[in-house]
């Protein structure tokens, strides 16, 4: 059996974690399967940290803007078979999908939705046009606002098995007449880690910042980075000084996407506000999502502007403050019964952040107990897509034996 994973993202500890969580599920259910990852990036990219003798990582098959003419030719060839679409990444991607017994769309954000990602959608369309049924592995999905894109997406989604991680996605897809099931983020299925090289360090607050102005569709015109820095960091400084906590700044992006200069700006701002230089650490030794999770797990509290910072705080029962740049962070707080720990980033200026942080810190034990109680059900909900795929696989085998 060959399982092809479409649109795997990387250079991001959250995408790595979800991808590995999915891959481990596949390997457990299909021990002998060949797993082939087809990566999604607009730049050269690495691979997620999942390796065995039956797994292939195809980060050499990126479909870029220069390949779009071949993509159009491929689509036209489904109507006019005499049209050739060359031997580019598009043709090689088509061949890889044709050879698959099962196709899974890797967990990720709103590429089919507000990000309006044509290349992402193209790979899913290829799978559908090659008579495969893609299993969407707990994605964020919605309308993009572009009629052509949304029509093509609807065509592909209606011929897929769709699992999403947000109730908002469920509502939008049901309005489109698409059958959908809801789970939670795939990273919740990762096994609990026992060893932690960050244990025993001084008490600290884990801070996971990021910049939005340079990439996110909601903030390219309505700049927010400086506003967040000027509102959030004074309150974090006052809180840490009052409670004798260090600050550990955790990088979230890797490779070509690294935010080293931006993280240095945060550190320097905190020092200018009164933090001692030796009490602030940018965790540059975080080399994998395993390290990323370990820093979060050993902290007294997490303040995260990244989605998977919140997911790992929930998973490890660590009190946190979610600064939500998208609905997915709010919903993670909802299904973990922690909505009071979330702030909409756009409403940051209307919130007394210091008061919020103090309230979370004082309620540490209750928050930990609540999050710990959710772990079993969240683990199960993170396994729904592949359990469904496995059941279909068993059913098909039974039918073949009967016939």
Determine what percent of the chain is predicted with pLDDT higher than 70.
Answer: 100
pLDDT digits (tens, 9 = 90+) for 334-386: 999 999 999 999 999 999 999 999 999 999 999 999 999 999 999 999 999 99
Within this chain, do residues 94 and 14 fall inside the same structural domain, yes or no? Answer: yes
Residue 198 has a pLDDT of 78
Q: Is 33 within the bounds of a domain?
A: yes
Average model confidence (pLDDT) across the chain: 95
Within this chain, do residues 102 and 177 fall inside the same structural domain, yes or no? Answer: yes
138: left (phi over 0), alpha (psi -120 to 50) or beta: left
Q: 323 pLDDT exceeds 90?
A: yes
Q: Give the contacts of 139 (CB within 8 A, at least 6 positions apart).
A: 105, 107, 108, 109, 110, 111, 112, 163, 164, 165, 169
Within this chain, do residues 244 and 392 fall inside the same structural domain, yes or no? Answer: no
d(CA 89, CA 123): 11
Within this chain, do residues 174 and 221 fall inside the same structural domain, yes or no? Answer: no
Q: Is 54 within the bounds of a domain?
A: yes
Output the pTM of the full model. Answer: 0.96
d(CA 12, CA 122): 22
Residue 384: CA atoms inside 13 Å, Cβ hemisphere, count?
20
Q: 403 pLDDT exceeds 80?
A: no
- Chain centroid, CA 105 distance in Å: 12
Residue 199 has a pLDDT of 76
Residue 43 has a pLDDT of 87
Q: Is 188 within the bounds of a domain?
A: no
Within this chain, do residues 210 and 257 fall inside the same structural domain, yes or no? Answer: yes
Within this chain, do residues 113 and 249 fall inside the same structural domain, yes or no? Answer: no
Rounded mean pLDDT of 213-224? 92
| Cα–Cα distance list, 305 to 62, 180, 215, 310, 331 (Å) | 28, 28, 14, 8, 14
Q: Give the contacts of 211 (CB within 8 A, at least 6 positions apart).
A: 225, 259, 262
Check: CB of residue 139 under 8 Å from CB of residue 183. no
Q: Is 191 within the bounds of a domain?
A: no
pLDDT digits (tens, 9 = 90+) for 289-299: 999 999 999 99
Boundaries of domain holding 101 = 2-183+382-402
Q: Is 235 within the bounds of a domain?
A: yes
d(CA 135, CA 161): 5
| Structure-model confidence comparison of residues 196 and 120, the more confident one | 120
Q: 201 pLDDT exceeds 80?
A: no
**C-alpha torsion 117→42→45→262, nearest 10:** -90
Residue 192 has a pLDDT of 87
Q: Is 190 within the bounds of a domain?
A: no
d(CA 383, CA 1): 20
Q: Is 197 within the bounds of a domain?
A: no
Q: What is the CATH number of the domain that holds 175?
A: 3.40.50.11930
Burial 221-256 (b: 16+ CB within 10 A, else e): eeebbebbbeebbbbbbbbbeeeebbbbbbbbbbee
For the packed helices 307-315 and 364-381, what is the interaxial angle rounded to 10 degrees? 100
pLDDT digits (tens, 9 = 90+) for 246-285: 999 999 999 989 999 999 999 999 999 999 999 999 999 9
Within this chain, do residues 33 and 120 fall inside the same structural domain, yes or no? Answer: yes
Residue 200 has a pLDDT of 72
Q: 86 pLDDT exceeds 90?
A: no
Within this chain, do residues 259 and 390 fall inside the same structural domain, yes or no? Answer: no
Total domain count, the chain:
2
Within this chain, do residues 240 and 95 fall inside the same structural domain, yes or no? Answer: no
Lowest mean pLDDT among 145-149, 222-226, 239-243: 222-226
Check: CB of residue 46 under 8 Å from CB of residue 11. yes
Q: Is 196 within the bounds of a domain?
A: no
Task: Tell which residue, 361, 13, 322, has the closest CA to residue 204.
Answer: 361
Residue 318 has a pLDDT of 97
Determine what percent of the chain is predicted with pLDDT higher than 90.
Answer: 92
Structure-token pair, residue 137: 């592995």
Within this chain, do residues 396 and 342 fall inside the same structural domain, yes or no? Answer: no
Structure-token pair, residue 58: 């195809």
Q: 153 pLDDT exceeds 80?
A: yes
pLDDT digits (tens, 9 = 90+) for 25-50: 999 999 999 999 999 998 889 999 99
Q: 186 pLDDT exceeds 80?
A: yes
Within this chain, do residues 146 and 9 fall inside the same structural domain, yes or no? Answer: yes
Within this chain, do residues 363 and 397 fall inside the same structural domain, yes or no? Answer: no
Q: 214 pLDDT exceeds 80?
A: yes
For the packed helices 225-243 and 260-272, what is the interaxial angle rounded to 10 degrees? 50
């Amino acid at each position: 059996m060959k399982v092809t994973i479409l649109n795997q993202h990387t250079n991001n500890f959250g995408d790595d974690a979800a991808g590995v969580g999915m891959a481990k599920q596949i390997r457990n259910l299909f021990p002998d399967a060949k797993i082939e990852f087809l990566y999604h990036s607009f730049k050269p990219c690495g691979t997620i940290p999942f390796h065995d003798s039956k797994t292939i990582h195809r980060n050499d098959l990126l479909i870029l803007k220069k390949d779009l003419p071949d993509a159009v030719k491929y689509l036209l060839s489904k109507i006019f078979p005499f049209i050739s679409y060359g031997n580019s990444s598009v043709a090689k991607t088509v061949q890889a999908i044709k050879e698959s017994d099962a196709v899974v769309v890797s967990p990720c954000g709103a590429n089919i939705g507000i990000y309006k990602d044509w290349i992402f959608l193209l790979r899913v369309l290829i799978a559908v046009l090659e008579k495969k049924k893609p299993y969407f592995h707990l994605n964020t999905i919605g309308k993009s606002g572009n009629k052509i894109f949304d029509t093509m997406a609807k065509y592909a989604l209606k011929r897929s098995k769709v699992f999403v991680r947000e109730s908002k996605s469920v509502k939008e897809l049901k309005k489109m007449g698409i059958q959908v099931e809801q789970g939670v983020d795939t990273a919740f299925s990762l096994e609990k880690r026992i060893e932690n090289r960050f244990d025993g360090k001084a008490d600290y607050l884990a801070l996971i910042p990021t910049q939005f102005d340079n990439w996110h569709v909601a903030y390219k015109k309505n700049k927010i980075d400086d506003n967040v820095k000027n509102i959030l960091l004074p309150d974090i400084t006052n809180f840490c000084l009052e409670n004798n906590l260090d600050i550990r700044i955790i990088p979230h992006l890797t490779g070509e996407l690294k935010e080293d200069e931006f993280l240095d700006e945060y550190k320097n701002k905190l020092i200018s506000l009164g933090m001692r230089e030796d009490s602030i650490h940018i965790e540059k030794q975080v080399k994998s999502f395993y390290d990323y999770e370990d820093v979060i797990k050993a902290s007294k509290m997490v303040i995260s502007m990244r989605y998977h910072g919140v997911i790992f705080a929930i998973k490890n029962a660590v009190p946190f403050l979610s600064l939500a740049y998208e609905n997915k962070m709010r919903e993670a707080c909802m299904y973990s019964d922690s909505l009071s720990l979330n702030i909409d980033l756009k409403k940051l200026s209307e919130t007394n952040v210091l008061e919020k942080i103090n309230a979370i810190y004082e309620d540490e034990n209750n928050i930990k107990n609540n999050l710990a109680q959710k772990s079993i059900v969240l683990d199960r909900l993170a396994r729904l897509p592949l359990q469904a795929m496995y059941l279909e696989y068993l059913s098909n085998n039974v039918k073949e034996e009967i016939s």
